[in-house]
Structure 1
Amino acid sequence: MSLSVTSRMSPIKNKHLLVLHHVVVVLLFLTQSCGGQHQMIGPTKPVVAMIGDDIILPCHLEPAVDVVDLTVDWSRNDLKPRSVYVRREGVELLTEQNPLYTGRTSLSVNKLQCGDVSLKLSTVQLSDAGTYKCLVPKFNAETVVTLAVGSVSSPVIELTNVKNEMVLECKSNGWYPEPQMLWVYSEEKLISVDPTKNVRGSDGLYSVSTKVTVEKGQSYSLTCKVQQKNISQIKEAHIHVSGDLFMVQSNTAVHITVNLAVCLITVGTAVILIWKCGQKKTKRRMMRMKMNYIKQRWRRNHTENVTKRKD
């Protein structure tokens, strides 16, 4: 009788044990996966910055966890030493930092509490362009952030008269990477467009220029465009040429020259008027002084004559 009861109870116990086994396996799996599931998340596209900017290189742990007292390492494999920023146990290790980044990098302690290890980079330089690795060794979590550095400037248009033609030269200095320059126009009246000249200076920046020649006595609306697609930058200058005269429609060198000429003429006219007024006042003052002198001489002579008569 007891054997039959035992045999009837054993399947139930086995079922309970099987359920318990599955629970333990699931818990072990969750525990193990939780220990290694932290991922480092960075931007999917390059971060673009202009020379002189202060920018943030995004990087954060997911799920969020406090990393204030953990090691955080930012580096570039193409540098020696490779360290851009190192923080261990809440202390910045400046001695390990590449001298190029001295005094220009920092992390936010408040953000570190939320797993955000984004690096602030101040006064961006051309040499900062490259691929950065963001690493938190405890979780073996890392990602890369690409920084593209650019430099732009507005183009200027200069106009020169040559016989029966006018030459318009568009210039723009201080670009990086190397830009493309082109003329945009609606009229098909252009005589010729010179090839673009690109020159790289000792500072690593590019200067570009190109000329277009147009006939006098006709009207033209032209746009000089400088663009750099890698850093998504476009700068333009517009000019309208009417006959032998020109009218600038944007802030170009011609516009500045016209305004400067008007200012100089105005100032020159004002100076001449003030000088003439000063000359007239000086003449009046001299005449008054001369008349006063004559009067004083006459009075003195008159007094002397009267005195002699009395004697």
Structure 2
Amino acid sequence: MIHFTLTATVWITVSLSVTSRMTPIKNKHLLVLNHVVFVLLFLTQTCGGQHQMIGPTQPVVAMIGDDITLPCHLEPAVDVVDLTVDWSRTDLKPRSVYVRREGVELLTEQNPLYTGRTSLSVNKLQCGDISLKLSTVKLSDAGTYKCLVPKFNAETVVMLAVGSVSSPVIELTNAKNEIMLECKSNGWYPEPQMLWVYSEGKPISVEPTKNVRGSDGLYTVSSKVTVEKGQSYSFTCKVQQKNISQIKEAHIHVSGDLFMVQSNTAVHIIINLAVCLISIGTAVILIWKCGQKKTKIRIHDEEENELHQTEMEEKSQRECEEKKRLEDELQNNEEDLKHIRQTIEKLMEQKTFLKNQREKLITLLQEDKTEMKEAVKKLEKDKAPTFDKDKKMHKRGDKKANLEKRTEVHEELLKMTEKLMEETENIIIQMTERKGKLEKDKEQIIKHLREKQRNERDLEETLRETSEKH
């Protein structure tokens, strides 16, 4: 849009500089052509004022794979749907994360890392809310983002911290006189800390913690502790990352009984006796269970029916929530489609107007060339050196010079018109591609919405039948 404005300014300046030396008819053509530029300038103007961009004072924290929103809004609120809105990161090339100019999303200027993952709400833009929705957060998304509206010279920065966590696992290795406990957790970012705490909450001596960063950029952390014979403790392994406020724990109880030597005869006798008692007890339990089987089956069936009823109700609620989300998404899609279609319509009108002006300029250039040929012929005829002929040649020479200047102006204006037509065509192509994508998205949303509606009807029918049976 800045390029359009500069081009229009040069166009008007050049036109005005030669208006006084051109005929009224030619001036009229120039005035019509200048009108095109003023129309373009008018479309880019919005009301100015003193505005301030407001963003979060603390970094936004997101886990890998999350969908998050980077807050940013103008105060006082103003409609920025048709203004330039720019989200960028200075550490990237190209730096643009999301660019919107005159209500049009410019996909060609966006960094490929963010393709298909950024969006703004048209409804929120009408209220000055420029918050950026970022889908499927990646580790590379961490950094400082700048939110900018050039119209008001208002900008702010938003820090995004990206993290990843996983639950630790404790593995136990039993040796003759000791037990080795190893706590391991992978898939962390940023690099975490690991510590052991026993039942009284005091830290204990452990082997040095090992932190290894994988090819995916995530850290695997592990640590070992040895428990000697006779000890009996409850251990907790903690993995924490303070920057993203995440703590994960794993617990294990180590008993001194694990170190008992089971090789003597008395132990074998006790074990055999215990096996006999267990066998007798098992037989008694089996006889008792046979008498209770029918009762348990009946109770089980009732519990299963209740559980099924609860699951169906929960599933129905989830389907209802998903349906509501799809309906909201469909509404946003239709609003975006409407705006895109209006933009394409305006651009097509502008293209037609520029095409007509180009044809008029071509006609003017042809007239200029014809007049130039006639002027040259007359100059060649009046080569005889007489006072009257010298005077005529002088006038015709001036006319030829004016024709050359006028031809130069028309050629420059023709170049500018063709350039504006080319840029308009490029934007139409981009808008048409965006329109096609939105229409495909709309078809998918409608398809999913119909499926959810069918599921909702089926669930309601099933719930009604279950209620009638009971």
TM-score range, shorter chain: 0.5 to 0.7
User: Aligned match of 2:224 in 211, 230, 235?
Assistant: 211
Distance 2:81 2:204 in 1: 66
User: Aligned match of 1:181 in 164, 175, 194?
Assistant: 194
Per-residue CA deviations over 1:92-113 (Å, capped at 9, x if unaligned) read 0000000000000000011001
Do 1:190 and 1:212's aligned partners in 2 also have CA atoms closer than 8 Å?
A: no
Distance 1:102 1:242 in 2: 55
Distance 1:190 1:43 in 2: 37
TM-score (structure 2 length as normaliser): 0.44
Matched, 1:194 2:203: no
User: Aligned match of 2:147 in 134, 154, 178?
Assistant: 134
More helix by share: 2
Identity of aligned residues (%): 93
Distance 1:108 1:233 in 2: 31
Matched, 1:232 2:232: no
Distance 1:129 1:177 in 2: 11
The alpha carbon displacement at 1:216 in A equals 3.1
Q: Show the counterpart of 2:181.
A: 168
Which amino acid is 2:82 matched to? D
Alignment of 1:86-125 (within 5 A): 86-125=99-138
Per-residue CA deviations over 1:138-197 (Å, capped at 9, x if unaligned) read 111000000000000000000001220001000000000000000012459998510000
Q: Show the counterpart of 2:58.
A: 45
Which amino acid is 2:115 matched to? T
RMSD of aligned C-alpha atoms? 1.9
Alignment of 1:64-75 (within 5 A): 64-75=77-88
Using a 3 Å threshold, how does the CA distance of structure 1 residues 189 and 47 change in structure 2: closer, same or farther?
closer
Give the gaps of 5 or more residues in structure 2.
Answer: 1-46, 260-470
Do 1:222 and 1:238's aligned partners in 2 also have CA atoms closer than 8 Å?
A: yes
Do 1:58 and 1:118's aligned partners in 2 also have CA atoms closer than 8 Å?
A: yes
Alignment of 1:45-64 (within 5 A): 45-64=58-77
Distance 1:215 1:55 in 2: 48
Do 2:48 and 2:151's aligned partners in 1 also have CA atoms closer than 8 Å?
A: no
Matched, 1:151 2:175: no
The alpha carbon displacement at 1:215 in A equals 1.6
More strand by share: 1
Partner SS state of residue 254, structure 2 = strand
Q: Show the counterpart of 1:85.
A: 98
Distance 2:184 2:162 in 1: 22
Alignment of 1:17-36 (within 5 A): 35-36=48-49
Dislocated runs of 4+, deviation >6 Å: 188-191
Do 1:192 and 1:214's aligned partners in 2 also have CA atoms closer than 8 Å?
A: no
Do 1:161 and 1:167's aligned partners in 2 also have CA atoms closer than 8 Å?
A: yes
